[in-house]
Amino acid sequence: MARAAAVHYSCTECGYSAGRWLGKCPSCSSYGTLVEDVLSAADGAKVPPKPLLRLVDVDAEEAQRIPTGVAELDRVLGGGLVPASLVLVGGEPGVGKSTLLLTALASISKNRRALLVTGEESTAQVKLRAERLGGAERVEILAETQLETVIATLESERPDVCVIDSVQTLYSAEVGSAPGSVGQVREAAARLLRTAKESGVATILVGHVTKDGTVAGPRVLEHLVDCVLQFEGDRYHAHRVLRAVKNRFGSTNELGVFEMTGAGLQGVPDPSEVFGRSAGNEIGSAVACALEGTRPILLEIQALVAPTDLAMPRRVATGIDPKRLAMIVAVLSRHARTALGAADVFVNVAGGVRIDEPGADLAVALAIASAARGAPTHEGQAAFGEIGLTGRLRPATQAERRLEECTKLGLAAVVAPTGAPAASGKLVVHEVDTLRKAIAAGLDADRTEAG
């Protein structure tokens, strides 16, 4: 007698599985996300075992990477696309995902077959963009949203690189739910993964991010793919940042910087030149030497301290975490004799860049202290170091790399926590152990506004 198919219920948000239907998922607490999943009766059938291999007997040759022709993208991927890999590129609407990937395809198509599967835009729309970017004449295009058709085409055509824009538009009739739903996206990614590995097509999926910044809702997709790249940036600023969140073939947290221009995205090989140039002895400005992945980057931090009558003065942060700003303001008041209780504090990272790294704390504190005391920071000076709640500075990671970057940019001095390695060249390192000493070393008190 045939066994009845086993029915169970799984959560579309977190993958939790239960034997009966529940209104609220016990694992992630979302409501109405449990859907029926049918396990086929064959699941319990007996299958023959497979012989095992020793790793020494496995044939593997280091696959030749495919250069994308976009230097910043290659850097983030770890030196180019790995054949037969699956890469997920996430980003907010309008940040420039399609532009970036069409540029890469255009360059790849010069020596290899490059295919763009577009489910979001018509072929005519893509053509208009291609004309604006130039050089994309040989890119092949398929306007299709049916998953099975896309897979069949990939299997028969076997292009070297394929971009799917976007994975949310793919639809398989076999999965009951609507296009863009978690079940559909997961199914599409899993089937494309299989096709990528079997047919040797390096596949790049474009994914939209949800409001809280995760790609396509479920983390399931991120586990599945080989690489996850995040494309971020403020739509109102020209600069975009590409980060590797996960990379099976290279280091993570690499950073690529682009500038959006009328002719497409241009790589910015030396971001410190763009973001780290302050006007010099301006009040309320300091340069941070932050570390993004393995790449040090100089960023100008600006602060404004304005007297206020508000009972709760405002602390407004653009580009840094508001909680970190509140902490820095509190440490400044308590440990560095910079009273800010009756003032609004605004902090901005120039160029629309966002930094999460604690090593940027000291520069933020210097910018605020400079604005509060009306004294500029020394010209040609950068700062890095994490501020502790006791007012003591903690050593920042990879100080050597940061100092190298400052030397490269021709800076004169750096304020850094004690224990920093010796700098090469003319760079002077002011080693300090507390925030108070850092402010004394970093501000040009002789040029105070009042005096």
Ligand X SMILES: Nc1ncnc2c1ncn2[C@@H]1O[C@H](COP(=O)(O)OP(=O)(O)OP(=O)(O)O)[C@@H](O)[C@H]1O
Query: Looking at 23, 44, 93, 307, which residue binds ligand X (CB under 6 A)?
Result: 93
Binding of residue 98 to Mg ion (CB under 5 A)? yes
With contact defined as beta carbons under 8 Å apart, do 403 and 381 qualify? no
- Report which of 294, 396, 285 is spatially closest to residue 348, judged by C-alpha positions: 285
Q: If binding means CB under 6 A, how many residues of this protein chain bind ligand X?
A: 12
Distance (Å, rounded) from C-alpha 41 to C-alpha 347? 61
Using Cβ positions, the residue closest to Mg ion within the complex turns out to be 98
In this structure, what are the phi and psi dihedrals at residue 378, rounded to the nearest 5 degrees?
-60, 145
Binding of residue 90 to ligand X (CB under 6 A)? no
With contact defined as beta carbons under 8 Å apart, do 369 and 385 qualify? no
- Report which of 368, 398, 371, 421 is spatially closest to residue 291, judged by C-alpha positions: 398
Binding of residue 136 to ligand X (CB under 6 A)? no
CB 337 to ligand X: min, Å: 45
Binding of residue 380 to ligand X (CB under 6 A)? no
CB 275 to ligand X: min, Å: 19
CB 117 to Mg ion: min, Å: 12
CB 99 to ligand X: min, Å: 3
Binding of residue 377 to Mg ion (CB under 5 A)? no
Q: Choosing among ligand X, Mg ion, none, which partner's interface includes residue 94 (Cβ < 5 to 8 Å by kind)? A: ligand X
Binding of residue 99 to ligand X (CB under 6 A)? yes
Q: Which is nearer to Mg ion, 163 or 393 (CB)?
A: 163
Distance (Å, rounded) from C-alpha 284 to C-alpha 275? 16
DSSP state at residue 391: S
With contact defined as beta carbons under 8 Å apart, do 101 and 204 qualify? yes
Q: Which is nearer to Mg ion, 206 or 423 (CB)?
A: 206
Binding of residue 120 to ligand X (CB under 6 A)? yes
Distance (Å, rounded) from C-alpha 215 to C-alpha 229? 10
Distance (Å, rounded) from C-alpha 301 to C-alpha 348? 6
Q: Where are the alpha helices (DSSP H) in 282-428?
A: 322-335, 361-373, 399-408
Strand partners, 35: 10
Query: Looking at 23, 49, 262, 307, which residue binds ligand X (CB under 6 A)?
Result: 262
Binding of residue 97 to ligand X (CB under 6 A)? yes
Binding of residue 91 to ligand X (CB under 6 A)? yes
Residues that bind Mg ion (CB under 5 A): 98
Can you give the binding site for ligand X, defined by CB under 6 A? 91, 93-99, 120, 235, 260, 262
